[in-house]
Amino acid sequence: MPLEFGLWRVDDKPLRVATRAMPLESRLEELIEADPGILGQPLLLIGRQVLTQYGKVVDLLGMDAEGGLHVLELKRDRTPREVVAQVLDYGSWVQELTNEQIRDIYTSYARARGLAEELDEAFAVRFGGTPPEALNSTHALTIVASEIDAATERIVTYLASGFQVPVNVLFFRYFEDDGRSYLARTWLMDEAEAVVPSAGAKGRGKQEPWNGSDWYVSFGDEAGSRNWDDALRYGFVSAGGGEWFSRTLRSLPLGARVFTHIPKSGYVGVGTVSGEPQPFEDAVLSIDGESRRMSDLSLAGTYRRAGDSAVGGAEDPREWIVPVTWERAVPREEALWRTGFFANQNSACKLRARFTIEEVSRHFGIDQGFAHA
């Protein structure tokens, strides 16, 4: 069913605003690029006029808050079969894009516009968090048009509702009134009717590659608990208060490189795991070449032992200690934080965020070659 919608100015009496043809379709691209919110959903644009490996050009490429990719194709005087076939061809291309390729597309887009920010920074500004580890786990295809014929509507509806193809049509109307210009939009299919965006190629290349050595550690420097001054002085990271809080930290392997982050402060140290995880009461640290029991050291923090009360009544309240030889570590007041840096609620996890690794390494003067070994 052809869609029609209008705009009225209502002062003394209703006055319909005239519909006009968009002066240039490239103008619509510019408007969407200036404010992707025009599309009615939060998107970060990562590419414009993106060349595919098949020699075709995608008008606009966006990313949503879950890391899914959105192909936006403006209809330019093509027959129904051509425009639908074109957007499906783009879908076959986009579902194969790897994490690295997506980042390269954004880098080219940003540089062409004189922007120095990385994808992680732009994502954080747009959505208020870091990108998911797996990008492009879903994708969606959108034909942007002022109107379509009945055949295109039938084809798109058939593919979306009958075969779960993630395709939809976004209609725009352009209005002029008293020297002002307006846009109105609507979708061919409501979100409730539209298919959930399809999954891309499973797993392959969707995550940032892990170099096999770098780990993230969250050091909860909390009043009445562990203290970063102790960790900085004696060389360790720790977590405790319950099994959930310590289990990931205890998975740190000997020789792992840890990027240590204090929540709400930033990154404070990079070092190498030099000993096995040990509960606080048994922990031994190397101080100036001498083995010392941690419980005998002068400590600013307090560390739970077996038998102490756990957080929320959980089992195993003990603080677990992992010895670390710092490559570079600084006081909490000198912590490094930038928009787009990786942060995680786990005490430890594999660190794949290239932007974080590179920027923290550069700031602390650490060999980045080792970070990507």
The mean pLDDT of 351-355, rounded to a whole number, is 92
Q: What is the pLDDT of residue 4?
A: 62
| pTM score, whole prediction | 0.75
CATH class of 14-199: alpha beta
Q: Where are the domains of the chain?
A: 14-199, 214-371
**Residue 301: pLDDT over 90:** yes
The DSSP secondary-structure symbol of 160 reads I
Q: How far apart are CA 239 and CA 250, in angstroms?
A: 9
Cα within 13 Å of Cα(267), Cβ side: 29
pLDDT value, residue 222 = 76
Question: So what's the pLDDT on residue 279?
Answer: 95
pLDDT digits (tens, 9 = 90+) for 112-160: 999 888 999 999 999 888 888 889 999 999 999 878 888 888 999 999 8
User: Which residues partner with 62 through β-bridges?
Assistant: 45, 70
What average pLDDT does the segment 189-196 reach? Answer: 56
Q: Can you give the pLDDT at residue 221?
A: 86
What is the CATH number that goes with domain 214-371? 3.10.590
Confidence of residue 372 (pLDDT cuts 50, 70, 90): very low
- 225-248 pLDDT, tens digit per residue, is 899 999 999 999 999 988 888 889
Predicted pLDDT at 204: 54
Assess whether pLDDT exceeds 50 at residue 289.
Answer: yes
Please say if the pLDDT value at position 195 is more than 70: no
Q: How confident is the model at residue 254 (pLDDT cuts 50, 70, 90)?
A: very high
111 vs 122, 355, 356, 363, CA distance in Å?
13, 16, 19, 22
Mean pLDDT of 305-328: 81
Q: Are 337 and 310 a contacting pair, CB within 8 Å?
A: no
Phi, psi of 314 (to 5 degrees): -70, 160
